[in-house]
Amino acid sequence: MGAAGRTGSWRVYRPIIDKTRCTRCLLCWLYCPEGCIERTVEDDVEVNLEYCKGCGICAEECPLKAITMVREGA
Amino acid sequence: MSIKGLPRREFILPGTAACPGCGLTLALRHVLKALGDRTILVVPAGCTSVIQGVAPNSSFAVPTLNIAFAASAAAASGIVNGLDAQGIRGVNVAVWAGDGGTADIGIQALSGAAERMTDMIYFCCDNESYMNTGIQRSSSTPPGAWTTTTPTGKREPKKDMPLIMAAHKIPYIATACSSYPIDLNSKVEEAKNIRGTRYIHILAPCPTGWRYPSERTVEVGRLAVETGLWPLYKIRDGRFEISIQSKPLLKESRRRPVKEYLEAQGRFSHLTQSEIDNIQGIVSAMWERLSLMDNKDIFKGW
Amino acid sequence: MVNLILDTGNHMVGHAVRAARVQVIAAYPITPQTSIVEHLATMVETAKLKARYICVESEHSALAACVGASYVGARTFTATSSQGLAYMHEMLHWTSGSRLPIVMAVVNRALGPPWNIWVDHTDSLSQRDTGWIQIYCSSNQEIFDTIIQCYKACESPEVSLPAMVCLEGVTLSHTLMPAIIPEQFEIDEYLPPYRPAATLNPERPKTFSNIFKPEDYMRLRHEMDRAMVRATKILEEAADEYSTHFGLRHHGGLVERYRLEGAEAAIVALGGLASEAKVAVDQLRMRGLKVGLLRVRVFRPFPKEDVRRLAENLRFIIVLDRDISFGMEGILYTEVKASLYDLSERPSLAGFIVGLGGVDVKSSEIADLVTKSMEGKFKGTVWVEV
């Protein structure tokens, strides 16, 4: 359990990764402040929705615009 | 070092109490990746004390000592000597302090520890205010910035901590930025293999205190570097060297206008055009000095 | 085999630190403690004491460095006085709250302003709420013995609290007295190496002192208080074992009783002031007055039981305070009174503020205070000034 609880509940927006556009450059993994973008063995990326706070850095930095921030509950 | 070459292991466990988009958490994540698990972290009062979360849980997967605000470098000094006295080798002793705990209340202990060449890496994660207590000014707050204790903008210049550390003649000083994790990683890797006091000053943008939307943390840090306001450099054994990301900025035309950096942040929103022009002039003067210092052995002495 | 040496109180501290095999020392010089730090530095640099010596830049940093060293499992030591002790106040709380068995010598000296380098107990007594064990010594032998005993008691898992060993500035710190120093192997038998349960260790990572919820904070504070109460027994056991092991004189666990048999009146005092009071007791006994002395050796945890038992057969208690809590009274006086509160019958109490800032207190003056108290001339707090 995260030291500040399940911080995924903080989110207003959640990142959605479009795998068809993703080139596995890993910039989102690089820039996520908390390591909530998980890097698989094959260098795929998955968002950890339990803890992702929805800061939007990953979407902002993705060079292919493969990540969109979508409002929670929308 | 490529992105793919960076260590995979995470030492910051998700679910910290940090603000979304926190620049200093991003920096610490990469610092701990570079330091590895044979590390003891000393954390004085500041955002990082809170980011760890509430007992009995902790977000940090390395042994961590929380200590009083003024005392981090002194406690680290004790840890280094305590390990040495017991013949325990090969442990990185690292301080992770904010600008308050480094340049203000913590400066005495840091100066003392550095003068004694304490074998530690001291990281200053600089978000340019006492952020944890609610965005009050520090000596590291840049001139013109709004804070709760400088509501019409700070008058005084930003204290130059890296130069103060260079005056202690320690073997390694570097500036870094959370927006340049590969540069930060390479500086930590370099520092790890040097004995004596090593000081790395990391600019860490803060969406909460600098007043910008959380997704722009990396971009704001990038602008600090690309405008020339935050030069990336290192001083190794007294030799000053501008880092590769900042080298092109020796040419004035390659620097982005400071306006772009200042306008990206609400804390500078009250600046007049003449104040912005003034800051642009300061950048030029700063880079004249940096060009004189580049690749020179200027910090040796007895 | 034992060695008889003649040395100052300050140097006796150094001999004890060496005998205790302290591993890390961090200290900042301050009159009248300086000969402690100089002696220790000499012993380290001539390899007589195998320790790391950190020449810190302030007392606050001295204790912070000791905290760091103790957290990684080293036996640590520091020393200070008056202003220096005041400067490290925040770290005093940090040390006890961290439950670290650091031992510190405090050379009692008056607090400024104005500047005064002579003896006064306000410096350490005004830190009585910081969770540190406090012991007041009255001889150089006792200084040596107490430091060794403190490491033993403090490092016990039942205690795990720091201790201040207090010695009076100039009158004890710079006075030569003989002392018996046991052989090193005998000390090693009595005091094994420090082996704490939890440390900063990369092999077993733990976070120390992050944020605790209010209920958890209060629980930790209660545990600290319980540990301080347990220290009463552990300190007595450490002193008993020391006396038996080395065949040396027992200084008293919590208190030292002097000529209290059949006494009508008793003086209560700390440290060297109590030594002077013993001379007064002898003078008064020669004149046929039934007077004794209770020297409070361990001030924290306060020996409430011993003070209560003292009061059982007495008609007068005369407390000497070489300190003051402004707007209230002498600190020792307050503590004695509080210990007697529950008794249905209490002796007459008088408290004297004496010798602040190093004003000389003579045994004849003390004897005079006692006789006048027994004549009912004093009650409550009286300032004795020249």
* Number of domains comprising chain A: 1
Instruction: Read off the CATH number of the domain in which C360 is found.
Output: 3.40.50.920
Would you give the end-to-end CA distance of chain C in angstroms?
Answer: 48
Cβ of residue A41 closer than 8 Å to a chain B Cβ: no
CATH number at residue A57: 3.30.70.20
Q: For residue C347, give the nearest of C381, C378, C319, C316 by alpha carbon.
A: C316
Residues of C in contact with B62 (CB under 8 A): 202, 205
CATH of the domain at C102: 3.40.50.970
Residue C256 has which token pair?
Answer: 């030292």
Q: Is residue A35 part of a domain?
A: yes
Q: Classify residue A1: in a domain, yes or no.
A: no
Residues C299 and C232 in one domain: no
Determine which of C210, C219, C220 to mutate to test the interface with B (most B C-beta atoms within 10 Å): C210
| pLDDT over 80 (residue C386) | no
Domain membership of residue B301 (yes or no) is no
Range of the domain at C10: 2-246
- Is A2 within a domain? no
pLDDT tops 90 at residue B1: no
Over residues C156-182, the mean pLDDT reads 97
pLDDT of C208 higher than 70 = yes
Provide the number of structural domains found in chain C.
2
**B26 interfacial to chain A (CB closer than 8 Å):** yes
pTM > 0.90: yes or no: yes
Q: Give the ipTM of the model, two decimals please.
A: 0.97
Closest CB from A35, A53, A55 relative to B12 = A35
Residue C252 scores a pLDDT above 90: no
Task: State the pLDDT confidence band at A10, using cuts at 50, 70 and 90.
Answer: very high
Q: What confidence category does residue C1 fall into, taking pLDDT thresholds of 50, 70 and 90?
A: low
B47-56, B289-298, C1-10, C361-370 — which is least confidently predicted? Answer: C1-10
Angle between helices B72-85 and B107-115 (to 10 degrees): 30
**Does the residue B184 lie in any domain?**
yes
Count CA within 13 A, CB hemisphere, residue A72: 12
Q: B10 lies in a domain?
A: no
* Per-residue confidence band for B298, with pLDDT thresholds at 50, 70 and 90: confident
C109-136 mean pLDDT? 98
Q: Which residues of B touch C58 (CB under 8 A)?
A: 108-109, 112
| Chain B residues within 8 A of C20 when measuring between CB atoms | none
Identify which of B57, B203, A2, B67 has the alpha carbon closest to the alpha carbon of residue C212: B57
Contact C72 B83 (CB under 8 A): yes
Pick from C312, C311, C314: which is nearest to C263 by CA? C314
Neighbours of chain B (3+ CB pairs under 8 A): A, C
Q: Is residue B198 part of a domain?
A: yes
| Cβ proximity of C8 and C173 under 8 Å | yes
Instruction: Decide if pLDDT at C313 tops 90.
Output: no
Residues from chain C that touch B111, judged by Cβ atoms under 8 A, are 57
Neighbors of chain C with 3 or more C-beta pairs under 8 Å: B
Contact partners, residue C32, CB within 8 Å, separation at least 6: C10, C81, C107, C109, C117, C169, C170, C173, C174
- Chain B residue with the nearest C-alpha to that of A29: B3
Q: Which stretches within C49-196 are classed as H helix? A: 59-71, 82-87, 89-97, 122-125, 140-155, 184-190
User: Which pLDDT score is estimated for C121?
Assistant: 98
pLDDT band at C250 (very low <50, low <70, confident <90, very high): confident
The conformation of residue C297, written as its DSSP 8-state character, comes to -
pLDDT tens for residues B176-231? 999 999 999 999 999 999 999 999 999 999 999 999 999 999 999 999 999 999 99
Give yes or no for a contact between A46 and A38, defined as CB atoms under 8 angstroms apart: yes
Q: Among residues C246, C273, C288, which one ends one of the domains?
A: C246
Q: Spell out the residues 6+ positions from residue B225 whose beta carbon is closer than 8 angstroms to its own.
A: B177, B179, B180, B231, B232, B245, B246
pLDDT, average across residues C314-329: 97
Buried b (16+ CB within 10 A) or exposed e, C15-46: bbbbbbbbbbbbbbbbbbbbbbbebbbebbee
Contact C208 B65 (CB under 8 A): yes
- The mean predicted confidence, pLDDT, of chain B is 97
| pLDDT of B163 higher than 70 | yes
Same domain assignment for residues C99 and C231: yes
Number of H helices, E strands in chain A: 2, 4
Smallest CA–CA distance, residue B261 to chain A, in Å, is: 17
Domain assignment present for residue B59? The answer is yes
Kindly determine whether residue B26 and residue A61, on different chains, have CB atoms separated by under 8 Å.
no
Residue B101 within a domain: yes
A60·B215 Cβ contact <8 A: yes
Q: Is residue B14 part of a domain?
A: no
Q: Which residue of A has its CA nearest to B4?
A: A26
Residue C331: both structure tokens together = 């600190």
Q: Given pLDDT bands bounded at 50, 70 and 90, which one contains residue B246? A: very high
Of A29, A48, A53, the CB nearest to B20: A53
Task: Over range C353-359, report the average pLDDT.
Answer: 97
CB within 8 Å: A55 and B52: no
- Identify the CA nearest to C274 among candidates C337, C236, C310, C320: C320
Contacts of A48 in chain B (CB under 8 A): 14
The residue range of the domain holding A57 is: 7-71
Closest-CA residue in chain B for C51?
A: B85
Longest dimension (CA), chain A: 34
Total number of domains in chain B? 1
Q: Are residues C268 and C130 in the same domain?
A: no
Q: Range of B53's domain? A: 23-293
C209/B111 CB distance under 8 A: no
Give me the CATH number covering residue B188. Answer: 3.40.50.970
Residue B109 lies in a domain: yes
**pLDDT one-digit tens code per residue, B23-59:** 999 999 999 999 999 999 999 999 999 999 999 999 9
My answer on whether C222 and C301 are in the same domain is no
Of the residues A12, A31, A42, A69, the best mutation for testing chain B's interface (the one with the most B CB atoms within 10 Å of its CB) is A31
Residues 17-36 of chain A whose Cβ lies under 8 A from any Cβ of chain B: 25-27, 29-36
